[in-house]
Amino acid sequence: MGAYLDLFSGWRPSEWRGTTVQVRPTEAVVTASGAKLGLGWGWPTGHVRVEVPGDHFTMMEEWAPHTAEAVGRVVSEGGATD
C-alpha cells in the first residue's frame, strides 16, 4: 500500500463542477506490525464527506451495504458540498 502513497504524493485534484464524495472509514487500518494508520486526512477541494463503519478495507467488504447507502444518500440529495 505504501507504493500507492508514493505514487500519488505530488498529485493534487483540480476544482470541477461535479460533486466529489469523500467516503471516510471510522476505524484505522492496523498494519502487520500493529501500527494504526491515521484517520485525520481530508480532501483539498470542495466535497461532501460521509463517514462509514469499518476501515479502509472492511468498508468495501463487510460494511459495503452501509457504504452504498451513504453514497446513495448523497447522490439522491444532490450532493451539496462542504
DSSP letters, 14-44, are PP-SS--EEEEESSPPBPTTSPBPP-----S
The full set of domain ranges for the chain reads 18-37+44-82
Q: What is the pLDDT of residues 4-20, one digit of tens each?
A: 767 877 888 888 888 88
Q: pLDDT tens digit string along 23-53? A: 999 999 888 888 888 777 778 888 889 999 9
Q: Is the pLDDT of residue 82 over 60?
A: no
